[in-house]
Amino acid sequence: MAESEKSSALSALSTESRTFPPPAELAAQANATEDWYARADADREGFWAEQADRLLWTKKWDTVLEWEAPFAKWFVGGELNVAYNCVDRHVDDGNGDRVAIHWEGEPGDSRAITYADLQREVCKTANALAAMGVGKGDRVAIQLPMIPEAVFSMLACARLGAMHSVVFGGFSPGALKARIEDAEAKVLITSDGQFRRGKPAPMKENTDQAVEGTTIEKVLVVKRTETDVPWTDGRDVWWHDAVDSASDQHTAQSFDAEHPLFILYTSGTTGKPKGILHTSGGYLTQAAYTHHVTFDHKPGESVYWCTADIGWVTGHTYIVYGPLANGATQVIYEGTPNTPHEGRHWEIVDKYGVTIYYTAPTLIRTFMKWGEDIPAKYDLSSLRVLGTVGEPINPEAWMWFRTRIGRERCPIVDTWWQTETGATMIAPLPGVTHAKPGSAMRPLPGISAAVVDDSGTRVGNGEGGYLVIDKPWPSMLRGIWGDTERYQETYWSRFAEQGFYFAGDGAKYDDDGAIWLLGRVDDVMNVSGHRISTTEVESALVSHSTVVEAAVVGAADETTGQGIVAFVILRAGSTDEAKGAEAIKALRDHVSSEIGPIAKPRQIMVVEELPKTRSGKIMRRLLRDVAENREVGDVSTLADTSVMDLITSGMQDSKEE
C-alpha cells in the first residue's frame, strides 16, 4: 500500500492482476455482447422496453418509467400475469414436454416436472387457494422445504394476484410468527416435516405455534415426511385433499405492471429484517433479462442449477421467476450438500448434466474445507458457466472454484445484488468480460452504479468508497411493507441530495475501473485513521495455505482507535502447530506482507465455526460483541446459536494465555 494514501471513505489495499478471458466458443454464441453496454447507456428506457418484450403482456405499457425519487413505476399502464409468463406461455409455444424441474429429494427420490405438468399443478393450487378465499392483494405465508410444492405455491399466488411471503424452512416459530403478523397473512402453506441431514424433522408442530393468535385462517399442509402432526379441524387442510381434487383448469387474469408480487424479509445480517416489497412487470423483466445474460442461458439446451433456498431472494429470482420466465430446465435439490456424502452436489451435476451452477461463496469455502479430491471423483464436463452470490468471493475461493469445479473451462460470474435490488446489478457477462478473481466487475447493461465518497462524488480508480445506484432500475424494491418512512430513511437519506440509492456496501475501483465489493459499510474498521474493509483482510488471511475461512472485526483499541481482531478456521487436518503462537505470528505477518502493515491483525483466534445467518453469511456484529467483551446481541437470525457460546469461551481462553 502506498504510504501517501490519504484517509478516504475506504482504503483499497489489495491488488489482483490475473484476468481470465471468456472461452472463445462461448463468446462466439453469447446471449449478450460488448455493444450492449453502450446501447443501454444511449437509451436506457428504450433498452429496458426491449427487455420487457421478453414477456407476454396482455396490455402494452404507455410509459416505460415514472420516477419521483425515491418512488418508481415501471411499464406504467401495462398488464400481465406473472405465472402465465412463467408457465402457460411455454406450453402455448409448444414446449409443454420440456422438463421445467428435475427435482431431487434428499433421501434419493426424484421427480421430473414438465411445463405441462407445472401448468396443471399451478392451476390446481390456484383453484384450491381461491376456494380458501385467497384473492387479489391477499398475503399468503409459505414455509416449506425445497419441494416442488413450494414453487407451485408461489406461482399460484402470482396467478391469483395474491402476494407470497416465503419464510425460510429453518426459521423458528417466533420468526415465522413475526413475519405472518407483519404481513397480516391469511393462509399459511407448510408441510408435516422436512428432511434434514437424512432425518425427518418436524415442521407443522412449529408452524402451529406461529399461527396461534394471528390473522391466519387456513393452513394448507403438504405431506412430505409422514411425520405425525397436531391437527386443528376447520383450519388445517391437507394438500393432497384440497389441491389434488381441484380442477387443473384455471384462467389467468391480468394485473397491473405495478401490482404487488411478493414481500420478502432480508436475511437479517445487520439487524431486524426488513419486509421488502416487489411488484410484477419490472421485477419479472429484470429477473428474466439477468438470468438470460449473466448465465448465458439457452432454453432447451442449458441445464441450470441454483443451489439457494427458496426462502431467500436468490431462490425467488433465480429458481422461480427468472429461469421459469425463460423456459429453463433446472435442478432443484431438497437437501444439504453432505447428505448422504460430501460429493452429493457433484453427483447431481453428473446425473443431470448440469451446465450452469450458481452457488454461494460460503459453500465453495466449505467444499474447499472438505477437500478437492471429492469433486475430482465426478464427471463435471457438462459445466459451462459458474456463478456466485451472497458475499464477496475471495480470490482464493474463486480460483479454487475455477480450477476444481470449472476445470479451467468455465467463466465465473460473481453477481452482486440484494433482496432490495430484486435481481443482479453488477456482474460479468460470461461471453464478454475478462474476469478478475473476486471482482463483480461492472454494472450490467441498463444498470448504473458508482463508488462514491462522503460527498457523493465518484472516487478515482484505485480508491474505495460507498456503492450507490444512481439511476432507477426495473426490479428495484417499491418499499418496505407498511413502512414508507423506514424505506426513505434506510436507502435514500444518505445521499438524498443526489438522489442515489445507498446499498450499505463498501466497494472500490481497481486501476482498470473494475468494481470490487468490500463488505458492509457498518463493518468497516477504522485503524489509525485508515478505513479498512473486512473483505480485504479476510481475503489476505484465506490466501494463506493453512486458512479456509476468516472473519475480521474492528475492536476498540486505546492507541489505534480500532484494532483488527480475526477469527479463522484452519484447513481440515491442521496440526496443533498450525494453531501455535508461532503460526499465528506467521499469519499476522502474512496479512502485513499481502496488503500492508496497517492491516495486520492485533489478535487472531482459531475457531471451529463462524456465526452465520441461515443464508450462510457471517454475522460480524456478533463477533464484534465478543471482541469487545460485550454481551452478544440479537442472535435470532443465526443458524446455530451454540456457535457463539463456543467462540465466547474460546476468546476467554486466548486472553488468559
Nearer to ligand ATP, 148 or 472 (CB): 472
Residue with cell 420516477: 67
In angstroms, give the least distance from the CB of 388 to ligand ATP.
6
Which residues from 266-285 bind Mg ion, rule CB under 5 A? 266
298 is known to lie in a ligand binding site: no
Q: Confirm whether residue 199 is marked as ligand binding.
A: yes
Distance linking the first and last C-alpha atoms of the chain: 33
Question: CB 632 → ligand ATP: shortest distance, Å?
Answer: 17
The least distance separating ligand ATP from the CB of residue 544, rounded to whole angstroms, comes to: 21
Q: What's the CA dihedral at 368, 523, 19, 456 to 10 degrees?
A: 160
| Interface ranges with ligand ATP (CB under 6 A) | 266-270, 273, 312-313, 389-392, 414-419, 440, 503-505, 517, 520, 615, 617
C-beta of 36 vs 502, nearer to Mg ion: 502
Among Mg ion, ligand ATP, none, partner that 503 touches (CB below 5 to 8 angstroms by kind): ligand ATP
DSSP-assigned letter for residue 441: B
* Cβ-contact 167, 142 below 8 angstroms: yes
Residues contacting 542, CB < 8 A, separation 6+: 365, 394, 396, 397, 548, 549, 550
- Residue number with CB closer to Mg ion (158 or 167): 167
From the list ligand ATP, Mg ion, none, which binds 416 (C-beta under 5 to 8 Å, kind-based)? Answer: ligand ATP
Region from 193-201, 264-272, 307-315, 321-329 binding Mg ion, contact rule CB under 5 A: 264-272
Binding-site partner at residue 306 among ligand ATP, Mg ion, none, CB < 5 to 8 Å by type: none
Crossing angle between the packed helical segments 642-656 and 620-627, to the nearest 10 degrees: 30
Closest CA to 145 of 311, 262, 342, 265: 311
Only one of the segments 74-82, 263-271, 348-356, 456-464 lies at the binding site for Mg ion (rule: CB under 5 A); that segment is 263-271
Q: How far is the CB of 410 from ligand ATP (least distance, A)?
A: 17
Sign of the CA dihedral with 323 first, then 329, 334, and 339 last: negative
Residue 414 annotated as binding site:
yes
Q: Which residues pair with 597 in a beta bridge?
A: none
Question: Is 624 labelled as part of a ligand binding site?
Answer: no
Q: What whole-number distance in Å separates Cα of residue 88 and Cα of residue 176?
A: 32
Strand order in the sheet with 464-469: 449-452, 464-469, 501-509, 515-520
The one-letter code for the residue type at 175 is A
Q: Which residues contact 518 (CB under 8 A, 6 or more apart)?
A: 10, 392, 464, 505, 506, 507, 508, 524, 533, 534, 535, 536
Cis check for the bond before 445: say yes or no (omega within 30 of 0): no
CB of 274 to ligand ATP, least distance (A): 6
CB atoms within 10 A of CB 298: 16
- The answer to whether 314 is annotated as binding is yes
198 marked as part of a ligand binding site: yes
Classify strands 329-333 and 356-359 as parallel, antiparallel or unpaired.
Answer: unpaired
Q: Which does 520 bind (CB under 5 to 8 A by kind): ligand ATP, Mg ion, none?
A: ligand ATP
Residues ≥6 apart with Cβ < 8 Å to 84: 56, 159, 252
State the burial class of residue 393 (Cβ atoms within 10 Å of its Cβ: 0-12, 13-18, 19+).
Answer: buried
Q: Indicate which of Mg ion, ligand ATP, none lies near residue 268 (CB less than 5 to 8 Å, by partner kind).
A: ligand ATP
- The minimum distance between CB 195 and Mg ion, in angstroms, equals 30
Instruction: Answer yes or no: is 531 a known binding residue.
Output: yes
Residue 196 in marked binding region: yes
Consult the annotation and say whether 415 binds a ligand.
yes
Closest to 287 measured CA to CA, from 70, 473, 43, 478: 473
**Among ligand ATP, Mg ion, none, partner that 415 touches (CB below 5 to 8 angstroms by kind):** ligand ATP
Choose the contact partner of 103 out of ligand ATP, Mg ion, none; CB within 5 to 8 A by kind: none
Q: Which is closer to ligand ATP, CB of 152 or CB of 417?
A: 417
Q: Nearest approach, Cβ of 314 to Mg ion (angstroms)?
A: 13
How many residues bind Mg ion (CB under 5 A)? The answer is 1
What are the grid coordinates assigned to 488, written together? 426513505
Q: Which residue has the cell 414453487?
A: 151
Q: Taking Cα atoms as reference points, which of 436, 337, 391, 395 lies closest to residue 617? A: 391
Segment contacting Mg ion by CB under 5 A, of 236-244, 265-273, 384-392, 472-480? 265-273
Give the nearest residue (CB) to Mg ion: 266
Please report how close the Cβ of residue 268 comes to Mg ion at its closest, in angstroms: 9
Distances from the Cα of 610 to the Cα of 270, 307, 513, angstroms: 16, 21, 33
* Residue 390 labelled as part of a binding site: yes
Alpha-carbon distance 562 to 552, whole Å? 12
Binding residues for ATP: 390-392, 414-419, 505, 520, 531
Binding residues: 196-199, 314, 338, 390-392, 414-419, 505, 520, 528, 531, 542, 544, 547
Residues that bind Mg ion (CB under 5 A): 266
Binding residues for CoA: 196-199, 314, 338, 528
Binding residues for Mg(2+): 542, 544, 547
